[in-house]
Structure 1
Amino acid sequence: MQTLLKSTGLIVILLTILGVSAYSKTVSVKSPNGETECVLNVGEKLTYSVLYRGEKVILDGNMGLKIKSGPVLGLNLEVVESAVQEVNETWKPVYNPNETILNHYNELTVDFEELKFPGRKFQVIVRAYNDGVAFRYMVPQGSDRQKCNLENELTTFNFESDVTCWAANYKGFKSHQEGHFNKQPLSGLSPQGYYGLPLTLKVSENCYAAITEAHLDKWAGMYLRTSQHPKELRTVLSNIKNNGVEDRFICTLELPHKSPWRVIMLGEKPGDLIESEMVSNLNPPCKIEETSWIKPGICTWDSWWSRNVNMENDEIKKFIDLAAENEYPYMLIDWQWYGEYNKPEADVTTLAEQLDMPMLISYAKQKNVKLWLWLYWTDVNRNMEEAFNLYESWGIAGVKIDFMALDGYEMVEWYHNTVKLAAQHHLMVNFHGAYKPTGIRRTWPNLMTREGVLGNEYNKFTYNVTPEHNVTLPFTRMLAGPMDYTPGGFVNALKGEFKPQKNTMVMGTRCHELAKFVVFDSPVTTLCDHPENYKNQPGMDFLQKVKAVWDETKVLQGAIGEYIVMARKSGNKWFIAGMTNSDARLLEVDLDFLPDDSYTIDLYKDGEATKLNATKLEKMKLKLHRAEKLKIECAPGGGFVGIISK
């Protein structure tokens, strides 16, 4: 179970005691350190502002909901009661008991009532963290209603100036959410766009922000677009059902009903956003009682990606062997193991005629490797209970479910129901063709990772996975949670030499690829390449040592789309990694994050040979002192990794 380790107690203050009357026009809450603040302005309409270290980040953003058969909920309100409480606790992810996550915030709860007919009640809950602000709506149950239909959410995010942002336009609600986060001014976004979350912004030289959502449940996925005001982002909610048909309503709310959290992450540097745990903290604690079966690790993959692998017993055994040789716990059997997929006759409880699943399961067990299975979502949806029961009897570790490509109300509920049922059958889950994370892995920690990212698979058929893209992802998509990017391509190519081909290349140097295992977050990390491409290759010894989860994370340097340097702790060792875009770069890294003075590092870096052959690297052992700088030359599209020991 996730356990709370410490609680400094609950402090509840009625604001009326402090002189705030029921008819106040302003109610606010500050973070525990006083550096972030959210102010609710109550008048003809309800608005909010967010400040960071006294600087205005959001100014008079609109709040409210449009409910069928009634005026906008959020107009002509009075404050009935307000209260603030402080929560200071820590908890541990079940799959990494060495990591401790701080959840410290001040929470403001405001009860409103409409001054005019129909006199409905309405509640807003605001949490102020040291690293951001979040708020949600609560629609109470009335004496005359137990349900209502949501037509629209009216939340906007208003900025004082034309700030720089990094945004991915998915161009519709039907999307796998796999795109580039392009740098542009806010005014460059389209009023017809479907900009996904997170959306990262540079508010000023000393203030970065990211907008996303947390605890998405019984609601529809959120997108952003500009309005007639070029400095305003407005909320757009998906209205697509699971059958792909648009609904006239966003969803039906069973009352009382809480919306997802609207999250504004804040930091002085872009790396501060990466270190934030707000998205996970805004979700309920673990609901699984016995969790010993939930284990992180690296997973090999008999993918169509590496060499167009055939779905045959002997080929699958090669990937089981790769996992066993490197002491990886998992191997994923990909599509077509049950024959044709995405057809009415597809049956996920049967086998393709050429496969011997009992033999493969036995073979993997002898090698101390557990298997994952790929599933097309509509195929498994027809008989999910039967299938999960069968997989549990086989000893399957987890399921990779693919091609949902929706985040309307029905699909959001499908995600929750699926991961809950999987937990009942001791199955971990990896969602592909998925929407971005919203933190429910805290509640259902068997949800190990998900896609919703333009990852290595696109190297098979596009030129899209550039070094620039790779050093943008940590500051954008990864802020929402783990991403199954599938790193580990060892047919490395310099940018001008890269081309899509059968034996799939990846753009960037070998060290750039190794660095992804430290920089990118995924508690189950899927290794993308073919066993033949790993044989006797430089850097493979690093992949035998790298971890999938970490005890502590430090972002040491970084500029969005340019470079990043991160350090992650595992036990008594630090794994450090850097990546650069297509520019060669000298990285000078301060080592003052190390607690003691003297260390050694096993360093893998680009060398002179790398400039001509991207698969080359230099390996060396160096002495380090925390008062010194680690200076590393990176080739274009390059990087480095190192293991720091006492």
Structure 2
Amino acid sequence: MTASSFFKSAFIFLFLFSQNAVVLAQVVPVTSPDGRINLLVSTAGQISWQATLDGSIVIEKVSMSMTMDKDRVLGIKPIVKKVQVAALEELFEPQIPHRDARIESKFNEMTVDFKGSYQLIFRVYNDGVAYRFKDHSKKTTTVYGEELSLQFPEGAGSFFPKEESMYSHNERIYLHKPLTALGQDDFCSLPVMFESKTSKVLCTEAELHDYPGMFLRHVGNGVLKADFPKYVLKAVDNQNNSPDRNQIVEEEADYIAKVSGSRSYPWRVFMMGDDDRVFLESNLLTQLSGPSKISDASWIKPGKVAWDWYNANNIYGVDFKAGINTATYKYYIDFASENDIEYVILDEGWTKSTTEIMEANPDIDIKELIAYGKERNVGIILWVLWKPLDEKTEDILGLYASWGAKGIKVDFMQRNDQYMVSSYERIASTAAGLQLMVDYHGAFKPAGIEKIWPNVINYEGVKGNENNKWSSDVNPEHNVTIPFIRMAAGPMDFTPGAMANAHPKNYLISFDRPMALGTRCHQLAMYVVYEAPLQMLCESPTRYKKEQESVDFITGIPTTWDETLVIEAKVADYVLVAKRKTKNWYVGGMTDYTPRDFELKLDFLGSGTFSMEIMKDGLNADHHAEDYKRELIEVNQNSVVPVHMVSGGGWAAKIVEKIKS
């Protein structure tokens, strides 16, 4: 994914020790390039570190170690052999840019070599810190555990995505509460955000390869420790609950991973700042992930998708019976073609059964549909359960590619153990060889393979719009929380675009005819705010045809970006962001249940005159959520535009340079 990279190294100091020498410095400082973040690494007794921002403690203490092959522990009673600190720079040009097309990365890196054939690497950026273990022993076969103990300053709080089990879709509400209010053994998936009086920290991981995903467990008194799913020895179908997709882990090992000798382990990442905008602008996860394994990614085509499952194929006013059949999907394809929507997904139901996935439902002619879409410049993406796909990956993907499908949507993984993490990458690799894109649903968060395999073009792992079918969980406050936390890890398949919009007083739950909390412009703004190179339109095409003005606005918004600029932002309260694609700018604003007013200065525009199309909450949007107003005005870099959002509201705009005649 790196088009070019370069390194400028300046070694600040270098200590060399014999095995029996006394370590000269048991506490070693490393600072960020701008000098604001200071990392103090201690090697006394056990490796630990503390982080400060402008002199204030952000993370009180992190201690860590790894237990390998039962009797070998990395990080306890460490003996330092060598310390190197270097100032480094890198330049990234991602093949599929989620946030920025050009990423200039500066960081200070400390590499510590220890007796016992292992290293710790620390990196300090202007927006966070990260560390990873490297084991150089060729004899290592097993990882029994990895310790990470995390302690924050007194009074710290969290936005905590509490999990009930490690067998999970990782779709959670972020519980905002003090750390001391967490229950004993409450645990969460990643990413998770912590806050103190002066700053916030987002904890996640990068370069997660062939290793289990990490959880954090509250062990009491505000202290959290890493927890990992054990290596799965035996998983069986859950005969009492959808055995085609749900499993029961019957037998686990007493270790978390099998390994083959020397290797690097995942980055433990701590994004931090005293301005909430940092969590929307940071590219830390991209900077910490490895290079692409796809040399030519030109076949990977981001775009928008007409999606069937949310709206339950609820089309009407047609001369055929709507449902999972060829005529219905031709209707979706026609709608996509008429609106320059690149793809249509055939979700659950298109196969003969959920486990017989190499044959289509008898009511669907899959080859005819793919050919019909090709004639109309619409690609077809096929939903598939992970379990049968994992069993016959090459055969199934080879068949889908031979039909002409453009990608797959893989669902119901629900695990983070080593086998599952490796399965993600194996499927991605096989799909890449067949030029198939991958959208992981029922998934854990992005953690690096989307850079190594950029055909992995989206992830769910978020409580998104589909929850409208059975709950009221997805509300405006949740919607302005997830960009700062879940999206900090990478793109998210939230599936926006609901046209049935409501406030709490008139919100109704319906599985087949769902509605979304918040205004119409709240949904429209998601297409700018939410990062998703493969971005859904969740509503029924029939409903969209009645809302052509909204559809035209949505389809005119890109799904990848050249530059991201955050104007105003506060976690769980509001966001106002501007994004550039070539010379055009797009602005999205969203608020929680508090009405908001901002002044949008357009000083980020270049010289010249621009046409600005605005979609804003209508005068009556405070009680009728579907009310909006479209405006077209002329602006330049000196213009200041008022932004008003009602409770649960939104605001969105396209800014296009006017061509002189």
Over the aligned positions, Cα root-mean-square deviation in angstroms equals 2.1
Could you say what secondary structure the match of 2:371 adopts?
helix
Could you say what secondary structure the match of 2:402 adopts?
helix
Mapping of residues 48-67 of structure 1, within 5 Å: 48-67=49-68
- Report the CA distance shift for 1:530/1:361 in structure 2 as closer, same or farther (over 3 A): same
Matched, 1:339 2:352: yes
Q: How many residues align?
A: 629
Structure 1 residue 28 displacement after superposition: 2.7
> Would the aligned equivalents of 2:66 and 2:145 in 1 still touch at CA under 8 Å?
yes
Counterpart CA distance in 2 for 1:238 and 1:595 is 51
Could you say what secondary structure the match of 2:141 adopts?
strand
Counterpart CA distance in 1 for 2:28 and 2:117 is 17
Deviation per CA, 1:148-195: give whole Å up to 9, x if none: 322221112211222121110111110000010111111122331221
- Report the CA distance shift for 1:234/1:597 in structure 2 as closer, same or farther (over 3 A): farther
* One-letter amino acid matched to 2:520: R
Structure 1 residue 435 displacement after superposition: 0.4
Deviation per CA, 1:14-60: give whole Å up to 9, x if none: 52289x98442112322222222222101122111112222221123
Counterpart CA distance in 2 for 1:381 and 1:347 is 13
Matched, 1:40 2:41: yes
* One-letter amino acid matched to 1:139: D
Counterpart CA distance in 1 for 2:209 and 2:399 is 28
Could you say what secondary structure the match of 2:59 adopts?
strand
Matched, 1:504 2:511: no
> Would the aligned equivalents of 1:66 and 1:152 in 2 still touch at CA under 8 Å?
yes
Mapping of residues 597-608 of structure 1, within 5 Å: 599-608=610-619
The match for 1:310 is 323
Matched, 1:389 2:398: yes
Counterpart CA distance in 2 for 1:436 and 1:490 is 27
- Specify which of 216, 220, 225 is matched with residue 217 of structure 2: 225
- Specify which of 156, 169, 176 is matched with residue 163 of structure 1: 156
- Specify which of 189, 202, 205 is matched with residue 213 of structure 1: 205
- Report the CA distance shift for 1:378/1:577 in structure 2 as closer, same or farther (over 3 A): same
Mapping of residues 155-194 of structure 1, within 5 Å: 155-194=148-187
> Would the aligned equivalents of 1:190 and 1:225 in 2 still touch at CA under 8 Å?
no
The match for 2:194 is 201
Structure 1 residue 324 displacement after superposition: 0.6
Structure 1 residue 240 displacement after superposition: 5.6
Structure 1 residue 510 displacement after superposition: 0.6
Counterpart CA distance in 2 for 1:350 and 1:188 is 52
> Would the aligned equivalents of 2:86 and 2:108 in 1 still touch at CA under 8 Å?
yes
Mapping of residues 226-245 of structure 1, within 5 Å: 226-228=218-220, 230-239=221-230, 241=232, 243=235, 244-245=249-250
- Specify which of 533, 543, 551 is matched with residue 533 of structure 1: 543
> Would the aligned equivalents of 1:101 and 1:277 in 2 still touch at CA under 8 Å?
yes
* One-letter amino acid matched to 2:229: S
Structure 1 residue 330 displacement after superposition: 1.0
The match for 1:464 is 473
Matched, 1:127 2:129: no
Counterpart CA distance in 2 for 1:306 and 1:546 is 25
The match for 2:339 is 326
Matched, 1:105 2:104: no
The match for 2:147 is 154
Counterpart CA distance in 1 for 2:656 and 2:370 is 38
Structure 1 residue 257 displacement after superposition: 2.4
* One-letter amino acid matched to 2:258: T
Structure 1 residue 101 displacement after superposition: 1.6
Counterpart CA distance in 1 for 2:433 and 2:284 is 27
Counterpart CA distance in 2 for 1:307 and 1:359 is 19
Matched, 1:272 2:263: no
Counterpart CA distance in 2 for 1:96 and 1:150 is 34
> Would the aligned equivalents of 1:307 and 1:504 in 2 still touch at CA under 8 Å?
no
Unaligned runs of 5+ in 1: 114-119
Q: Which moved more, 1:32-41 or 1:516-525?
A: 32-41
The match for 1:438 is 447
Q: Which moved more, 1:34-43 or 1:241-250?
A: 241-250
Structure 1 residue 609 displacement after superposition: 2.6
The match for 1:93 is 94
- Report the CA distance shift for 1:224/1:331 in structure 2 as closer, same or farther (over 3 A): same
- Report the CA distance shift for 1:171/1:272 in structure 2 as closer, same or farther (over 3 A): same
Could you say what secondary structure the match of 2:399 adopts?
helix
Deviation per CA, 1:190-240: give whole Å up to 9, x if none: 3312211111122233x2211111111121111112223x23221111226
Could you say what secondary structure the match of 1:499 adopts?
coil
- Specify which of 504, 520, 533 is matched with residue 530 of structure 2: 520
Counterpart CA distance in 2 for 1:289 and 1:582 is 46
Structure 1 residue 585 displacement after superposition: 2.1
Q: Which moved more, 1:55-64 or 1:477-486?
A: 55-64
Counterpart CA distance in 2 for 1:442 and 1:386 is 25
The match for 2:78 is 77
* One-letter amino acid matched to 1:257: R
Structure 1 residue 587 displacement after superposition: 2.7
Could you say what secondary structure the match of 1:270 adopts?
coil
- Report the CA distance shift for 1:21/1:103 in structure 2 as closer, same or farther (over 3 A): farther
Structure 1 residue 125 displacement after superposition: 0.5
> Would the aligned equivalents of 1:472 and 1:560 in 2 still touch at CA under 8 Å?
yes
Counterpart CA distance in 2 for 1:473 and 1:296 is 22
The match for 1:553 is 564
Could you say what secondary structure the match of 2:259 adopts?
strand
Unaligned runs of 5+ in 2: 236-248, 315-321
TM-score, normalised relative to structure 1: 0.93
Deviation per CA, 1:298-342: give whole Å up to 9, x if none: 01112254445621001111111121111111111111211221x
Counterpart CA distance in 1 for 2:467 and 2:637 is 40
Counterpart CA distance in 2 for 1:317 and 1:293 is 24
TM-score, normalised relative to structure 2: 0.91
Structure 1 residue 493 displacement after superposition: 1.2
